[in-house]
Structures are given as structure tokens and as C-alpha cells.
Amino acid sequence: MKKTLLMLGALALTAFTYSAQASVMPADTGKAAAAATPAPTPDPPLVFSGSVDTYYKYDFSGKPSIPTSFANEQNSFSIGMIDLGLKKTVGNASFVGELSFGPRGQYESLPDALGKTLVGSSYHIQNLYVSYNLSSKFNLSMGYMATYIGYEVISPAANFNYSTSYLFTNGPFQNAGFKATYTFSDKVSLMAGIFNDYWNVYQSGSKVNTFGAQLTLTPIKDWTAYINLATGPASGTEIDLTTNYQITSAFKLGLNAADFSAGEGYTGGFSGVALYPQLAVSKAVTLGLRAEYFTTKTGTYAPVGPGSGNSVMGYTFTANIKAGPLTIIPEIRLDSSSKSEIFPGSTSGSFTSSASQFVFAAVYAF
């Protein structure tokens, strides 16, 4: 019986293997094939992608002290979000819809739950826009789109560090509007658009008067720089430089620098610079540092971070350990401020000039 089964298995595999080989053999007569006509290349399929992230964080002061976005819960195994994205292109028209569920993708970043509670948090939109290619060089997009400003993003799958920078936390997350992008060459493209009066809103306060632009430069292979501007009476003016240079196959250097001047009703703003050197030490492991200097201008505008006229320096040491679609991210972060004001100390009501935390995160991207 066993022998018969083995024989049958072998025969089935022989047939299967033969058919597989036959199907990849180059046609050599041409006659049989001549009756058929090749069909034009079809549109790309419906693209489905996303990520899931979870983390453990321990702040060495014993309470959450570093105020930047995400990974805030102290001594806790916590969840980030499940992020689900869809994209479909037919001809020159495309749509992108991206939904997120979980603290990172709801009340920690999206605008409808400012009460910091999941109750009533019904919006989950990270990206929702349509776009149309007028030509291979000219694209129009409209909707609610991830911001074009800054180095870091909400999705943990697209960031190297798991915790986020002060520049990210204080910059826009999303801009709703209409934008046109023209590609002059493979080295230069320009985006210009008009956006709602405030950042991170699904609908305008009452006006659509924020102007945005992005000049993309690729001066040499493997080096890309984005010069960004968002300016409006209500949202203020942010000028931003974001650049990445893959200097060798193992070493990449990123830089983000920004200056923000507050809009109507406020004075001051913030500015800062962050450097992101990253070194791949093996196929699976990359080590990286984020060194950030962030300062708050003197005035009434109060960003997340140091108070008016003060600054903070943050060093984040991160490893990315890849196992297929899974990335394990251990991270140590040390922040220090010019004054003892922003980091809660270990005793109740006290503040210190430095803070440190450990994060162990896992991000699965698909």
C-alpha cells in the first residue's frame, strides 16, 4: 500500500513537473502560437498593504516624561495601530484609501478625538485622495493626504526610529487640499497646492488659504532632497528641508531641518534640526541614531517640548532587526533640555532637565 502511494505520488509529481517545464519552454515552431494575439498589458491590480505595530516602553523616571508623539505608555505592553491601505489605478486615474485603528492611528494622531479617548473616535483616515495623471509628467491630486513636510511619518513601517522627533510632533501630519506635481526631469520636480486653513483637519475652519509647495531635487543618484513650504494666515509658515543620501550600500545619512512661525493670534514658533545616520551591519540588522536639536522661539506659541525661548537635545539609538516582513526595534532615547521644565521627575510635581526611555517595538508590514 505504502509503495503504491509513493508510486502514485511520484507519477503525479512527474506529470506536474513535466507540465511546469513544458509551460516555460520557449515556443520554437511559432505556428501554433500564431493564431493568438497578445493582449495589451492590463492595469495594475488592487494594491492592498498595511502594518501592525506593538511596543513595550519603560521610562527611567518611572513615569512618561518624553512628550513626543506615540510610544507614550509607561511600563506597558501597548498597541500602536493596524493600518490598512488600498490603492487602485485604472488608466491614468488612481485612488488611495488608508484606514488606521488603534491609539497611534486614532486619538494620538487624528483630529476627531481631541478628548484623548477612543469613545467617539469614528474617523480613521490616514490618506483618502484621488489623483489623475494628465501626462506621464503631470499629476493632480485632491483629498486628505499625508503631509509632504518632514522626515518622519505616522506609519511606523515607514520610520526607522519608533519614537518620534519634536519636529515631527509639532509639524503637520496631514494636509487636505488640491495639489499639482510636475516632473521636469528625473532630477527635478515641483509640487504646488492649495490646502485648508488648518493642518490635520478633514474640513477647513472656513477658508482654503494655506499655500503649499515642494521642490524635489535629485542632484546625484541615491541623493534626494525636498525643500518644503506651507504658509497660511491661520496655520502659520513652515519651511522645511528633508534629505536622504545613501552614501554607500551600507550607510545612509538623513537630515531634517525646519523653521516655523506661528499664524494669526500667536507669536513665536519653533525651529530645529535632526540628523539620521544609519548603518547596515548585516543583511538583517541596521543601526541608527537620531540626533535632534529643537528650540522654541520666544513668543506665545507653545509647541510640544521646551517652553518659550528654551531648547531640547535628543539622542535616539535604534536598531532595526528584520525577519521578513517583521521588524524588531529596540531603542534607547536620551533627551535633555536647557532648563528643568519639561520632563516630569521621579517625585510628584518635580521636573528635571533630562529624560531617558527604553522602547522595544515590533512592526509587521504587509
Partner 1 sequence: MNRNLIILLLIFLSKLSNAQQELLSFDEHNKYIYYGVNEMQGLSADTLHNRGLLFLKTLFPRVVFKSPLKNINILCDGKFLTYSGSSVFKHEQGEVNYSLNIEFKDEKYRFWLTNFTYIPYERDRYGNFVPKLGKEMALESINNELSKKESDAYLNETGLFCKQFAERLKIYLLNIPKKEEKLKKIVTDKW
At residue 213, the 3 state secondary structure works out as strand
Q: Is 13 in the site for partner 1 (CB under 8 A)?
A: yes
Q: Is 249 in the site for partner 1 (CB under 8 A)?
A: yes
Contact 154, 173 (CB under 8 A): yes
Please give the distance of CA 328 from its chain centroid, rounded to a whole number.
17
Give residues 307-336 in contact with partner 1 (rule: CB under 8 A): 324
Determine whether 307 is exposed, middle or buried from the number of CB atoms within 10 Å of its CB (0-12, 13-18, 19+). middle
CB of 246 vs partner 1, minimal distance in Å: 2
Q: Quick one: which of 74, 204, 209, 224 contacts partner 1 (CB under 8 A)?
A: 224
User: Which residues in 42-79 are b (16+ Cβ under 10 Å) and which e?
Assistant: eeeeeeeebbbbbbbbebebeebbbbbbbbbeeeeebb
Q: Quick one: which of 79, 140, 142, 157 contacts partner 1 (CB under 8 A)?
A: 157
Cα(50)–Cα(52) distance, rounded to whole angstroms?
7
Q: Quick one: which of 184, 187, 203, 222 contacts partner 1 (CB under 8 A)?
A: 222
Residue 32 DSSP code: T
CB of 50 vs partner 1, minimal distance in Å: 9
Cα(363)–Cα(104) distance, rounded to whole angstroms?
13
Cα(103)–Cα(89) distance, rounded to whole angstroms?
30
Q: Quick one: which of 43, 44, 326, 347 contacts partner 1 (CB under 8 A)?
A: 44
Q: Which residue's CB is nearer to partner 1, number 35 or number 119?
A: 35
Q: Is 203 in the site for partner 1 (CB under 8 A)?
A: no
Cα(230)–Cα(192) distance, rounded to whole angstroms?
10
Q: Is 127 in the site for partner 1 (CB under 8 A)?
A: yes
Q: Which of 148, 109, 102 is nearest to 126 (CA)?
A: 109
Q: Quick one: which of 209, 237, 244, 336 contacts partner 1 (CB under 8 A)?
A: 244
Q: Which residue's CB is nearer to partner 1, number 145 or number 262?
A: 145
The grid coordinates listed for 234 are: 491661520
List the beta bridge partners of residue 329.
361
Q: Is 1 in the site for partner 1 (CB under 8 A)?
A: no
Contacting range for partner 1; rule: CB under 8 A; set: 38-46, 64-72, 74-82, 115-123? 38-46
How many residues of this chain bind partner 1 (CB under 8 A)?
Answer: 59
Q: Is 252 in the site for partner 1 (CB under 8 A)?
A: yes
Cα(69)–Cα(80) distance, rounded to whole angstroms?
11
Contacting range for partner 1; rule: CB under 8 A; set: 41-49, 54-62, 70-78, 346-354? 41-49
CA–CA–CA angle 80, 81, 87 (5° rounding): 145
Q: Is 186 in the site for partner 1 (CB under 8 A)?
A: no
Q: CB neighbours of 342 closer than 8 A, spacing ≥ 6? A: 67, 305, 306, 307, 312, 351
Q: Is 185 in the site for partner 1 (CB under 8 A)?
A: no
Q: Is 285 in the site for partner 1 (CB under 8 A)?
A: no
Q: Quick one: which of 74, 183, 209, 246 contacts partner 1 (CB under 8 A)?
A: 246
Q: Is 179 in the site for partner 1 (CB under 8 A)?
A: no
The binding site for partner 1 (CB under 8 A) comprises: 2-3, 6-7, 9-10, 13-14, 16-17, 20-21, 24, 26-28, 30, 33-38, 40-41, 44-49, 85, 87, 96-98, 126-127, 129, 145-148, 153, 155, 157-158, 221-222, 224, 244-246, 249, 252, 283, 324, 365-366
